[in-house]
Chain A
């Protein structure tokens, strides 16, 4: 029973990794930079990701010297930091272990690393390890969740495909009939190509002719228009000669009618007419009550 359950249990407890790149900054340490000697290029020390900043260095070594010998050891990186220990008057064999804190120095600022000795003595078991922080979103395009991410425009690849032509292949052997067919096909293709070129040339020629005619027609129209304008101008000159210049006497025409007694009497004829109109009106109004 146990043997039967064992594979199932193994399947259940089999490690399952779900890898997803995070945009959260992470920390790490390098390997020993001084394994290859007393000078090193930081490109060979730092890991690949951009956005790397170094926040500290740990170094250690053991000097090999006599107590009375003057001996100084300087560890550092060009342009960033350096630290000197004076071992003069100190017995050899005592290891120094030191941690240097740094204010997040970006990788671009780091020059080559070095261990320089002055005086009589040597350095043994040197270790230089860098502590760093990496910001994955240093390049916003690293992840869509990074601030400043821009949706990339896909680059259309320039396909330079070489088309295989079996007839040009020296390793393809053809018989006479096949060669004849290919030659006929090529002749036909050449002929079609010539015809297409002639047609294209003909179309161009026609187009040029039409354009020339169109330009000629425009010129004629312009000339006709000018002639009409000239004729209108001549006609207007003739019309203008038929008019004469005359002065119309004018002035002020004052009121010359005077109302003598300051009143106007009613017109008796009008009174009679008004009375007749009134009688007719009343007759018409009364007619509506007769029914």
Chain B
């Protein structure tokens, strides 16, 4: 009887199977960036393109929706080059800035603007509260030596990123 049991045991050991148990997971983003208002360059003079409303431009606005506080930075970078334009033979001088346009919770988001940090064309905000924040950027491009921009279509991009802390 013992022998039979031993045989069965060997038999079962010899017939074992390997299996990989998959583990999947899904991390839902708790920071969503949306273009609220596309920008438009105005052309107040031959050598300047600007989003300033007083010069016929429209300020681009992006919105950050955050459902987890103290977990993300908002990084917004104003353009430093055209993504598409006619052929330019001279240099373009870029200026730009970003500021808080609106908030959904003034009590907890009111210090976003005062606590922002800027490095180069990039402005960073610490998103310390849940809710929505609208950021507006201004951008201006001046053609070198006060030359006139060649006629054509000019495009540039404001880059907005939500970075986990």
Chain A interface (Cβ within 8 Å of chain B)? 60, 63, 67, 73, 84-87, 89-91, 94-99
Q: How far is the CB of B144 from chain A (nearest CB, A)?
A: 34
A67 to chain B: closest residue by CB:
B114
Which chain B residues (45-100) contact chain A, with CB distance < 8 Å?
100
A90 and B102 contact, Cβ closer than 8 Å, known pairs A97-B132, A97-B134: no
17 extra interchain contacts, Cβ-Cβ under 8 A, other than A90-B106, A94-B110, A94-B113?
Answer: A60-B102, A63-B106, A67-B114, A84-B107, A85-B110, A86-B106, A89-B110, A91-B113, A91-B114, A94-B100, A94-B102, A94-B106, A95-B101, A95-B102, A96-B104, A97-B103, A98-B105
B159 at the interface (CB under 8 A from A): no
Q: Mark contacts of B110-128 with chain A using CB atoms, 8 A cut-off: 1 yes-contact digit, 0 otherwise.
A: 1101100000000000000
A72 to chain B: closest residue by CB:
B107
Q: How far is the CB of A60 from chain B (nearest CB, A)?
A: 7
- Chain A residues with Cβ under 8 A from B102's Cβ? 60, 94-97
Q: How far is the CB of A122 from chain B (nearest CB, A)?
A: 15
Q: How far is the CB of A115 from chain B (nearest CB, A)?
A: 14
- Chain A residues with Cβ under 8 A from B105's Cβ? 85, 96, 98
A62 to chain B: closest residue by CB:
B102
Q: How far is the CB of B46 from chain A (nearest CB, A)?
A: 32
A90 and B104 contact, Cβ closer than 8 Å, known pairs A97-B132, A97-B134: no
- Chain A residues with Cβ under 8 A from B106's Cβ? 63, 73, 85-87, 90, 94, 96
- In contact, B107 and A89 (Cβ under 8 angstroms): no
Q: How far is the CB of A126 from chain B (nearest CB, A)?
A: 13
A-B pairs with lowest CB-CB distance, top 3: A90-B110, A95-B102, A85-B106
CA distance A233 to B114 in the complex (A): 127
- Chain A residues with Cβ under 8 A from B132's Cβ? 97
CA distance A97 to B102 in the complex (A): 7
CA distance A94 to B135 in the complex (A): 10
A99 to chain B: closest residue by CB:
B104
Q: How far is the CB of A101 from chain B (nearest CB, A)?
A: 13
CA distance A94 to B132 in the complex (A): 13
CA distance A85 to B134 in the complex (A): 17
A85 and B107 contact, Cβ closer than 8 Å, known pairs A67-B114, A91-B114, A97-B134: yes
- Chain B residues with Cβ under 8 A from A97's Cβ? 102-104, 132, 134
- Chain A residues with Cβ under 8 A from B104's Cβ? 96-99
CA distance A176 to B104 in the complex (A): 92
- In contact, B103 and A94 (Cβ under 8 angstroms): yes
- 24 pairs, A vs B, C-beta closer than 8 Å: A63-B106, A84-B107, A85-B105, A85-B106, A85-B107, A86-B106, A86-B107, A86-B110, A87-B106, A87-B110, A89-B110, A90-B113, A90-B114, A94-B102, A94-B103, A94-B106, A94-B113, A95-B103, A95-B134, A96-B106, A97-B102, A97-B104, A98-B105, A99-B104
